[in-house]
Structure formats: C-alpha cells, structure tokens
Structure 1
C-alpha cells in the first residue's frame, strides 16, 4: 500500500479512536491478515510480558490459512498503543 494512503488511514484512526479503528491501526502496522486480527480473543493479546505481542493461532471456530501461519506478532509503537486502547 502506498505510504500516502497509509498515512491518511492512520490519521483517520488517530482522529476517531474506537475499537474498530484501533484494530485497523494494528492491521496497518503488523501486516497481519484481517481474519487474524478480527479473530483475536482477549487471551491472544499479551500486553504484560517482556515483549508485548499477539498470538495468531488456530482456534476451535477459526482455521488458519496454513499450519505455518501460527505465530507471534510483537506489539511496538503504534500497534502497542492501539492494542492498549482495545
């Protein structure tokens, strides 16, 4: 995505600041798939660890694209601020 579009989207997120816009901000800065971020559960967001992160893994009602898709995504900068605001 072009940087100008990313900057406009990020500006909108900062201006509106809702649960949905915070999820958009996490999408913009992590390159995670929409289904991965939209399918997060509370226990998948670990903010009180040495390196705050989200865990992307298969769940009972949600399958990953591939088995190798299971991973941890560190939360830093804008993504950490957005995750804290959820």
Structure 2
C-alpha cells in the first residue's frame, strides 16, 4: 500500500437528513474524473484545518457520480471550522 496522494478535494459540509446531522460524516467534493471516483471507496483521507489540526478518515460511499461528491466517515467528529478545508485522498 503506497501513501501516494491520489486525489484532492474540499469538505462541503456535514451529512444531514431525517432531522439530524451526522457530525462524524462529511460530504467531500473530489477533483477527479467522475468515472474514476468509484474506485476511491475505502480510500483513506486526511483533512487539515486552518489551525493545523489533522483529522483522518475513510471514504465509505459515493454520494453523486455526476458532481464527484463522496461521503467520508471519521472516528471523531469533524469540527465545523473544517468545512471548506482541503482533503488529500490516499489509496
């Protein structure tokens, strides 16, 4: 397993629905080919916020193939200040 950065993205917001917000799951817009994002399920991601804090997670499913948006899950909750931060995806 190589730790090579494969794709970059941006945190768009928390996953919401059913009258609640999932603080440990976020929507990420990936800057990749829309046909290639299906292979990124299970890839590890790293988010660095504006203060230098590092959060690690994993892509669990694709939300939209057309807009290249994926759902990522973190072990701990991601703070709201991380919205708009850059994401690095490792395979």
Greater share of residues in helix: 1
TM norm structure 2: 0.28
Greater share of residues in strand: 2
Of structures 1 and 2, the one scoring higher in RCO (CA 8 A, sep 6+) is 2
Larger Rg: 1
